[in-house]
Structure 1
Amino acid sequence: MSQPFSRWLKQWCGPLTRAVTYTRWLHLVVSGVLGLTFASILGIDDASVANWSLMFFVFPVPLVVAAALVPAMRRAEGLQARVMLFPGAHARVHDGQHEDDAGSGVSVSPSASWDDRVRTALWLVLRLEVGGAIAFATVHLIGQTLALIGTAAGAPDADSPVFALDGPRWLAALLVPVTLLALYATVVLAGLLMAAAARRFLGPSPAQRLSALEERTEQLLERNRIARELHDSIGHALTVAVVQAGAARATTDPAFTARALEAIEDTGRHALEDLERVLRVLREDGTPARERPTLAEAARLLASARTAGAKVDADLSGPVDRLPGPVSREGYRMLQEALTNVLRHAGPVPVRVQVTAHADLLTLDVRNALPAPTAVSSRGGSGLRGIRERAVLLGGRADTGPHEGDWRVRVELPLA
Structure 2
Amino acid sequence: MIRWLRPFARAVTYTRWLHLFVAVVWPAMWLFIDEAWWAPAGAAVVLGLSGLIPAMRTVEGFQARLLLLGRRDGEAPVIVTGPARTWGDRGRTVLWLETRLLLGAVVSQLTFQLPLITLDLVRAALGGRPDSGGWLPVTGHHWWYAALAPVPLLLLPAVVLAGGELITRVALRLLGPSPAERLAALEERTEQLLERNRIARELHDSIGHALTVAVVQAGAARAAGDPEFTGRALAAIEDTGRAALEDLERVLGVLREEERPVSGRPTLVDAGRLLESARASGAEVDAELSGPLETVPGPVSREGYRMLQESLTNVLRHAGSVPVRVRVAADDARLLLEVRNPLPGEIPGPGRGSGVRGSGLRGIRERAALLGGRARTGPDGPDWQVHVELPVG
Quote the Cα distance in structure 2 between the aligned partners of 1:131 and 1:309.
79
Equivalences for residues 78-157 of structure 1 within 5 A: 78-89=61-72, 91-92=73-74, 100-101=76-77, 105-148=78-121, 154=126, 156-157=128-129
Aligned partners of 1:71 and 1:110 also within 8 Å: yes
What corresponds to 1:340 in structure 2? 313
Q: Does 1:68 align with 2:60?
A: no
For residues 82-133 of structure 1, give each alpha carbon's deviation from its aligned partner in whole angstroms, at most 9, with x where no partner exists: 22221114x25xxxxxx731xxx32111011221111111111111111011
Q: Aligned to 2:28, which of 11, 16, 36?
A: 36
Give the match's secondary structure for 1:69.
Answer: coil
Q: Does 1:388 align with 2:362?
A: no
- Structure 1 position 288, deviation (Å): 6.2
Give the match's secondary structure for 1:243.
Answer: helix
Quote the Cα distance in structure 2 between the aligned partners of 1:38 and 1:384.
72
Give the match's secondary structure for 1:163.
Answer: coil
Quote the Cα distance in structure 1 between the aligned partners of 2:278 and 2:355.
23
Q: Aligned to 1:354, which of 286, 302, 327?
A: 327
Number of residue pairs matched by the alignment:
386
Residue type at the aligned position of 1:274: D
- Structure 1 position 70, deviation (Å): 1.4
Q: Aligned to 1:404, which of 378, 381, 385?
A: 381
What corresponds to 2:226 in structure 1? 253
Aligned partners of 1:367 and 1:407 also within 8 Å: yes
Give the match's secondary structure for 1:87.
Answer: helix
What corresponds to 1:267 in structure 2? 240
Aligned partners of 2:365 and 2:375 also within 8 Å: yes
Give the match's secondary structure for 1:86.
Answer: helix
Structure 1 stretch displaced more, 15-24 or 29-38 = 15-24
Quote the Cα distance in structure 2 between the aligned partners of 1:414 and 1:318.
14
Query: Structure 2-normalised TM-score?
Result: 0.90
Structure 1 stretch displaced more, 227-236 or 330-339 = 227-236
Give the match's secondary structure for 1:59.
Answer: helix
Q: Aligned to 1:222, which of 195, 201, 216?
A: 195
For residues 43-92 of structure 1, give each alpha carbon's deviation from its aligned partner in whole angstroms, at most 9, with x where no partner exists: x4xxxxxx7x7654x12111102211211100110111122221114x25
- The 1:155/1:247 distance shift into structure 2, 3 A limit, reads farther
- The 1:167/1:401 distance shift into structure 2, 3 A limit, reads farther
- The 1:148/1:388 distance shift into structure 2, 3 A limit, reads same
Percent of aligned positions with the same letter in both sequences?
A: 57
Residue type at the aligned position of 1:355: V
Quote the Cα distance in structure 1 between the aligned partners of 2:8 and 2:137.
27
Quote the Cα distance in structure 2 between the aligned partners of 1:117 and 1:282.
37
Equivalences for residues 187-198 of structure 1 within 5 A: 187-198=160-171
Query: Structure 1-normalised TM-score?
Result: 0.85
Give the match's secondary structure for 2:70.
Answer: coil
Q: Does 1:25 align with 2:25?
A: no
Quote the Cα distance in structure 2 between the aligned partners of 1:413 and 1:163.
84
For residues 151-185 of structure 1, give each alpha carbon's deviation from its aligned partner in whole angstroms, at most 9, with x where no partner exists: 67x5944544233264455x344324311232222
- The 1:155/1:219 distance shift into structure 2, 3 A limit, reads farther
- Structure 1 position 277, deviation (Å): 1.3
Aligned partners of 2:333 and 2:391 also within 8 Å: yes
Quote the Cα distance in structure 2 between the aligned partners of 1:396 and 1:389.
10
Aligned partners of 1:85 and 1:195 also within 8 Å: yes
For residues 275-303 of structure 1, give each alpha carbon's deviation from its aligned partner in whole angstroms, at most 9, with x where no partner exists: 11112211227666641111111110011
C-alpha RMSD over aligned residues? 2.4
What corresponds to 1:47 in structure 2? none
Quote the Cα distance in structure 2 between the aligned partners of 1:323 and 1:18.
60
- Structure 1 position 225, deviation (Å): 1.1
Quote the Cα distance in structure 2 between the aligned partners of 1:21 and 1:55.
31
Quote the Cα distance in structure 1 between the aligned partners of 2:127 and 2:32.
32
